[in-house]
Amino acid sequence: MSTDDAGAGADAAGETGGEPAHENALQDVIAVDADDNPEGTVNRLDAHTGEGVRHRAFTCLVFGPEGRLLLGQRAPTKRLWATYWDGTVASHPVEGQTQKQATRQRLEEELGIAPDQYDDLRVTDKFEYRRYFENAGLEHEVCSVLKVTLDDASLDPDEAEIGGLLWAEYDHLHDHPEWYRQLRLCPWFEIAMRRDFD
């Protein structure tokens, strides 16, 4: 595992008038050390504000039957990296949940991809990174990368999670970033893609 680090200021966010400022305040994520060993749970909003707390996360790259990568645009209601493009979904496992279990759940919830549409879900990489997003918060994650190839590319995206979808040639996206400048890519996806081709 390697660390990819960057920093800028981030204002703390939390409660306003005694009420949670965001639905993330109602959820927990798994705090981890640099080797991805669990260190208990932490409030999801706390993990993503102020100085943040290192926690476990994943991103899943979904490929279609013809080998193209499915890019998913984060919904405009997301608190961090809204409308940025991911490859394809990203989230956090909950306590007691494996990365594969969490990924299967998010694929179904966000894109309507059922487990019978694939049979090769696999973990291919893991890295630590830290990135701030404007003054809204940050990600400090030990992020596992999973990949899956769909036998059936039928999709039923949840608009609360997915703002748009785009199939792209993965090699072309990596080799010609200047052709895709209109797509603002999520930092964890950019790191995963760069490491994939290193």
Give residue 27's pLDDT: 87
Which of the 8 DSSP states describes residue 97?
Answer: -
Cis omega (within 30 of 0) on the bond before 16?
no
Mean pLDDT value across residues 143-165: 97
Residue 154: band (very low, low, confident or very high) from pLDDT cuts 50, 70, 90: very high
The DSSP string of 107-164 is HHHHH---GGG-S--EEEEEEEEEEEETTTEEEEEEEEEEEEE-SS------TTTEEE
Residue 162: band (very low, low, confident or very high) from pLDDT cuts 50, 70, 90: very high
The pLDDT tens digits for 49-72 are 999 999 999 999 999 999 999 999
Nearest to 150 by CA among 41, 63, 81, 80: 63
- Which of 110, 128, 141, 161 does the annotation list as catalytic? 141
* pLDDT over 90, % of the chain: 82
Q: Pull the structure tokens for residue 74.
A: 């984060």
102-109, long-range: CB < 8 A, 24+ apart: 102/58, 103/58, 103/60, 103/146, 103/148, 106/60, 107/60, 107/62, 107/148, 109/158, 109/161
The pLDDT tens digits for 77-90 are 998 999 999 999 99
Give the 3-state secondary structure of residue 42. strand
The pLDDT tens digits for 80-132 are 999 999 999 999 999 999 999 999 999 999 999 999 999 999 999 999 999 99
* Domain boundaries along the sequence of the chain: 3-197
Name the average pLDDT for the chain: 89
- pLDDT surpasses 60 at 25: no
- pLDDT surpasses 80 at 4: no
- pLDDT surpasses 60 at 13: no
Confirm whether 139 is a catalytic residue. Answer: no
Domain 3-197 has CATH 3.90.79.10: yes
- pLDDT surpasses 70 at 7: no
45-48, long-range: CB < 8 A, 24+ apart: 45/13, 45/14, 45/20, 45/21, 46/14, 47/140, 48/24, 48/79, 48/80, 48/137, 48/138, 48/139
